[in-house]
Amino acid sequence: MAFLSGLKIASALLAFASPSLAVGVAPGQIQNFVTFGDSYTDISYYPTADGGYSWPTYAAEYGPFNVYGFARSGATCSNNLTYRPFPPIFGYQLPSYFGEVSNGTLDLDPNETMYTIWIGTNDLGANALITGSDAPDVSLVQVRECAIDVVKVLYASGARNFIMQNIIPLELTILYSNYSFPNIYWDEQRNTTEWNVFMKELSRSGNALTELMLQALVPTMPDAHIASFDSYGLFTDIYNNPQNYLNGTAPLNVTGCINSCSYTTYNDPNPATCVTVEGTDRDSYMWYDELHPSEQTDRVIAREMTAVMKGEANQWATWLS
């Protein structure tokens, strides 16, 4: 008992003596954030794939922070693993970032800068893991190792503050639900029950792997602050308790979407028919379309991510270092 409390005092003194040993970032420390990821985070065009402004734009306003957005729609972590004809993190987003750092376009103090990584939706999804369209030797394991490699590469270049946003419950999106229909993201025949079950396995196992890999990474990264952000938990809570998050003028809706485009049959040669929700009714919806969160969901993500970047305690984030 005496030994234990002595230890506690010793570690408290140690933490006091060298702030870099503290867990998490300090309030007021973060001025900038740099994003890597896919359409959920892409702010390079408007309206974004989420139908309005997406979370980094709101987080930059709420902070306020300067945002440097390298995330790009359609991206996977690496096209060497899951090939899609869009700009991946490895192969496009990291090279763009390092290009700007090396020619002086970007000059960010590592202490004041947060790096966010949110990848996985396209790696796990249609035309990738769930349809077996990945490279022959690839599985969920390499795809999640790749997300960890993003942190490694950035750390090696001097970055010190990271938030790894985990994979959302993709099984709750309309695309991967068991009531799915032919839509612009997938119009071929499939067994929706099996897709729904398989996607739940992929997203949950992918997140568990990532968490274990991150925990193993922490001791190799002195002076780093790494948070694990539970997007899976946050989205599940929005789905189960929409009244705590959604505020539009229509009945709250977590199973339909603002912009739904469907085909009448599989491989329909005719154009998709779209039904759109307008105005203040939109904020009643969790989803923008069959795969993307709505702008109101993005505001919620932004609010929570902002709190984490400001060094506030947050129920969806765990600081691992």
Ligand X SMILES: *[C@@H]1O[C@H](CO)[C@@H](O)[C@H](O)[C@H]1NC(C)=O
Which residues make up the interface to ligand X (CB under 6 A)? Answer: 26, 28-29, 78, 80, 90, 96, 99-100, 103, 105, 111, 178, 191, 193-194, 247-248, 251, 253, 255-256, 260, 277, 280, 283, 296, 299
Q: Which of 112/211 has CB closer to ligand X?
A: 112
Q: Which of 6/222 has CB closer to ligand X?
A: 222
Q: Which of 103/243 has CB closer to ligand X?
A: 103
Tokens of 306: 């902002």
Q: Which of 3/46 has CB closer to ligand X?
A: 46
Tokens of 166: 């985990």
- Residue 131 contacts by C-beta under 8 Å, 6 or more apart in sequence? none
Q: Which of 100/211 has CB closer to ligand X?
A: 100
For the beta carbon of residue 313, count every other beta carbon within 10 angstroms: 9
Q: Which of 7/26 has CB closer to ligand X?
A: 26
Rounded to a whole number, what is the distance in angstroms from the first to the last CA of the chain?
A: 26
- Rounded CA separation 12/6 (Å): 10
Query: CA 52, 55, 60 angle in degrees (round to 5)?
Result: 110
Question: Least distance from C-beta 270 to ligand X, angstroms?
Answer: 21
Question: Least distance from C-beta 206 to ligand X, angstroms?
Answer: 18
Question: Least distance from C-beta 77 to ligand X, angstroms?
Answer: 9
Closest residue to ligand X in the complex (CB): 256
Question: Least distance from C-beta 304 to ligand X, angstroms?
Answer: 11
- Rounded CA separation 111/232 (Å): 28
- Rounded CA separation 92/74 (Å): 12
- Rounded CA separation 46/21 (Å): 41
Place of tokens 């030994």: 3
Question: Least distance from C-beta 177 to ligand X, angstroms?
Answer: 7
φ/ψ region of 294 (left if φ > 0, alpha if ψ in -120 to 50, else beta) reads beta
Question: Least distance from C-beta 253 to ligand X, angstroms?
Answer: 4
Place of tokens 């700009």: 87
